[in-house]
Amino acid sequence: MHDVRQKRFTVTRAKDVWVWDDAGRKYLDGTAALWYCNAGHGRPEIIEAITRQLERLDAYQIFGDLANEPALQLADELARRAPMDGAKVFFTSGGGDSIDTAGKLARAYFQGSGEPERTVLISREHGYHGTHGIGTALAGIPANRIAGPFVPDVVQVAYDDPSALEKTIVDYGPERVAAFFAEPVMGAGGVLPPPPGYLESVAEICQRHGVLFIADAVICGFGRLGNWFAIERFGVQPDMVVFAKAVTSGYQPLGGVVVSGRVAAPFWDEPGLALRHGPTYAGHPAACAAGLATIALMERDGLLERSVALEAGLLSRLRTLEGHPLVHEVRGGVGLLGGVELDPERLARTPGLPGRVGAAVRERGVLLRPMVSSIGVSPPLTVTEEHLDQLLDAFAAGLDSVHRDAA
């Protein structure tokens, strides 16, 4: 999202948890860029893997029967770690591409299975699923539904109530519903962990009604919740998982959809369904090389385990902000991410309050993510306890500064 009326903040270089602006000032990256730099900036293992691949094969498409070695290797690595049986991988260029791919795959699966009337896609209020066509329609954040939605047969339900999903499926008729999309932890909607038992309940409802359960792990996959695809934390086997962002730690644009063997079967059987779909740069060899290097690095350095080890400390620090005049609620504790919801009365009285808080924290050397009504925190998984202390100190001082100025 970019507001051209704002003064630019230009980032010129980065290293581990730090970035520098064009004036040479250093900042703690409290958001891992846009939720993605989980392995930290400037890792030579990833950079060198990309360079080697570009020297060998810079780029080539993977349409039809064409493939490249890094894409095949990465697909195998992802399928091996996937939280479903018989997994297959469809590569894209990023998260928005992947959401659109998952929506099309869901409808195509039912068309190929003799149920073409199953076209309805369900998402949750506060959900974020990118800004492509299907993602705009699925958006549960009203501000993100600008100039759309363009896709029919899409409906939102309450984000925290399994009975709302079941009622919607029954009201539309299970024979019309194709898929339900859910982020394991909602990211851009304000960092909303699921209520206890929620994901397990909606997965059971989907299974009972023959609806595909699609986990959107674009923001919280690849270590953010302490595992590869986020949904494993809840013991749920989805029909599809959408991924992007941290699969390469953001070093190259890459995304994809992991599909269960059951859902993949109509496309793999002989004669299989033809899916005329795919971005130009899907399975780009340099991007896939970055993905392979990222996975190896995360396993070598124990970054998945590190995320779990640090999550309680991040939440306990953020909770010290509770009681501040600008703070309504603190959320987190499920992965190394958190959200601070701002006071609704102050939000109503102060236009652009999240942005003002974010700017005040930035002045104190920490980058956070202003959202619609909250501030998001999601540092690289390489942060230390000392870094988290610095983050909290800057956050608290920024809140105090904005409160004083608005008094």
Any idea which residue has 């595909």 for tokens? 212
The token pair at 377 is 């925190």
Q: What is the CA radius of gyration of the chain?
A: 21
pLDDT at 5 over 80: no
> How far is residue 85's CA from residue 237's CA, in Å, rounded to a whole number?
9
CB atoms within 10 A of CB 344: 11
- How confident is the model at residue 3, as a pLDDT? 59
Query: Of the given ranges (84-93, 262-271, 324-333, 349-358), which has the lowest mean pLDDT?
Result: 262-271
Examine the pLDDT at 304 and tell me if it is beyond 90.
yes
Q: In residues, how long is the chain?
A: 407
Which residues, including other chains, have CB under 8 Å from residue 42's CB and lie 6 or more apart? 14, 15, 16
Q: Which of 333, 401, 334, 335 is nearest to 364 (CA)?
A: 401
The pLDDT value recorded for residue 169 is: 98
- For residues 322 and 330, what is the distance between their CA atoms, to the nearest angstrom? 7
Q: Are 355 and 201 in contact (CB under 8 A)?
A: no
pLDDT per residue as tens digits for the range 114-155: 999 999 999 999 999 998 889 999 988 888 877 777 799 999
Average of per-residue pLDDT across 93-99: 96
Q: Are strands 11-15 and 18-21 parallel, antiparallel or unpaired?
A: antiparallel
Rounded-to-integer distance, Cα 153 and Cα 71, Å? 34
- Cβ pair 179, 147 in contact under 8 A: no
Q: How many CA atoms lie within 13 A of 304 on its CB side?
A: 18
Residue 249 has pLDDT above 80, yes or no: yes
Segment 387-404 shows an average pLDDT of: 98
Q: What is the pTM of this model?
A: 0.95
What are φ and ψ of residue 47, in 5° steps?
Answer: -60, -45
Cis peptide leading into residue 271 (ω within 30°): yes
Specify the range with the lowest mean pLDDT, choosing from 60-64, 80-84, 246-250, 268-272. 268-272
Mean pLDDT of the region 358-365? 98
Give the other-Cβ count within 10 Å of 323's Cβ. 7
For residue 270, is pLDDT > 80?
A: no
Range name among 70-79, 162-171, 275-284 with the lowest pLDDT average = 275-284
Condensed to tens digits (0 to 9), the pLDDT of residues 48-89 reads 999 999 999 999 999 989 999 999 999 999 999 999 999 999
Q: Find where tokens 């993949």 sit.
A: 264
Burial class (CB in 10 A: 0-12, 13-18, 19+), 208: exposed
The per-residue pLDDT for range 187-212, each reduced to its tens digit, is 999 999 999 999 999 999 999 999 99
Q: What is the mean pLDDT of the chain?
A: 95
pLDDT at 220 over 60: yes
Q: What is the pLDDT of residue 60?
A: 95
Domains in the chain, CATH or no CATH each? 11-30+302-406 (3.90.1150.10), 45-300 (3.40.640.10)
Residue 2 has pLDDT above 60, yes or no: no
pLDDT value of position 298: 98
The per-residue pLDDT for 144 is 81
Contact in structure between 366 and 390 (CB atoms under 8 Å): yes
